[in-house]
Amino acid sequence: MADQEAWSIDANDALDISFVQAGETSPKTLSTFHPQFTYPIFGEEERIFGYQGLHVNIKFAAHDLRPHIEISYDKKFKAVGDTKPTDLVEIFKPWTLEESFEKTSSFNDRIQNDTCAKDFQPPGELLEHYTSRGRNFEIWSGELCDPAVRLLISRIQILISFFIEGGTPLELDDQDWTLARWRVYFVYEKLKPSVSNASPYSIVGYSTSYRFIQYTPITLINGASRSHIQSFTLPPSKPLHPSNLPSRIRISQFLILPSHHSHGHGSHLYNAMVKTFLASPTCTEITVEDPNEAFDDLRDYCDYAHLSSNKTFSQIKLNTSIDSKLTANKIGVRVPTSHLLDKPLLESLRHKNKIAPRQFYRLVEMHLLSQIAPHSRQAGASRLTQRGRASNIDDRAFYYWRLLVKQRIYKQNKDVLIQLDRGERADKVEQTLGEVVGDYERLLRGTEKWRKAEKESGGNDEAAEESSGDKKRQRGKRKNVVDDDEDEDVAMGDGKRARSEAL
């Protein structure tokens, strides 16, 4: 056993990921980092058996992402019966292209002698360019049915398994109709290379989005007969493109390389994508697939800033002039949500901004909380003995705000809460409410820090990821949580949304 452990190595430590470009005499390394986790490839233990001094360097050309896997080691275990060293080439084959396994000398020659590199341009269309810390960046977008886009993804998407929890590579051999529903957004840095034949482009990260075609039933107005409804035939006389059909767009994979973290690239990429979705006449709603905590925070900051800047929040008010009879401390007496907020207005604003219901109403709660004086918020429930009859307008607003959030918590967790007795049920809701308040306060502090940093940097929001608490994460695996905006009945205790184990 001890002998086998001497031949076992942590896969996360053994693997390096590098991006290179042509240099003076040999390829120049622009960045190197370890994967966050390797269990999709090497199993739950994330161990590689059969080597000592193992080093696996997964290299990519920084511009066109041509891959190469270079394997070196000091010693290799001699097979004893069925106990054999891990066949690294075979284990990597399902995850990368055949071109990854050419000789290192051949890969280096390709990088050094690539006469097309200096003329390389990312595929698709240029969406925007921006600067961060005195460096220039561009965001490009193209459909997955574009062979050039598909080639880049086929080369780079092994990184999804290294950095996105539960992430899986895209199926690239699907029909064009399906591929056309995928869109890819690349972030590239525009460099000034040290040699004339090197490409000026270096990858920073990328994201993908997928269109879910949305069925929109026709509502008959004033008893109109079905004969007035326009008919159509299948198959259609002209080819239909997914972008021409009403769709809910879901942001799927979102990756900024570790060497570019905390420079604001995530917020630039997210905002560029949302801007594109808002401009699309066929996009009806923007959702996100299973976001982790860091992306959740990034999304909250970006969406909150957007709703603030486009005057959406200025239209939303919490009604604190409620009939005192509805605030009496009696069983069965409750304040309807419709008395606290203008629900038709909220839905109109939500549809205009194309934000999914769950995300939108969280942002509304954050905004309404920010409008209450800090002393009332920090005092908690201790100042609310007068309930809705409090003379202080901020105390009254905080009482109704708490009531609003409690109603949402109860509705989202009704199936769990109805199994508890009244006292325990009230305690659970109150505990979850406290954690929601704490999380909103953290996010509001982050938005203020972000706003100040953006103002000081002249619009280069480099503090975005930093404000989100983007600390180095453990290399362990988080719980597999389904956190999709389609699932409106997900419990508050599931995933980051609640930051709560109460429910």
User: Which DSSP string do the residues of 71-138 spell out, in sequence order?
Assistant: EE-SEEPPPBTTB----HHHHHGGGS-GGGGS-HHHHHHHHHH-TTGGG---SSEEEEEEEETTEEEE
**133: Cβ–Cβ under 8 A, 6 or more apart, which residues?**
263, 460, 462
Q: Taking a C-beta distance cutoff of 8 angstroms, is the pair 132, 188 a contact? A: no
Query: Left (φ > 0), alpha (ψ -120 to 50) or beta: where does 81 sit?
Result: left
Stated as kind and residue range, the H or E segment containing 464 is helix 463-467
Helix/strand/coil for 231: coil
Backbone angles phi and psi of 204, in degrees to 5 = -115, -35
Concerning whether 347 is annotated as a catalytic residue, the answer is no
Angle between helices 422-456 and 357-370 (to 10 degrees): 80
Is-contact 304 363, C-beta < 8 A?
yes
**Among residues 289, 365, 465, 466, which one is catalytic?**
289
What is the per-residue burial (b if ≥16 Cβ within 10 Å, else e) of 346-369?
beebbeebbbbebbbbbbbbbbbb
Q: Active-site residue numbers?
A: 289
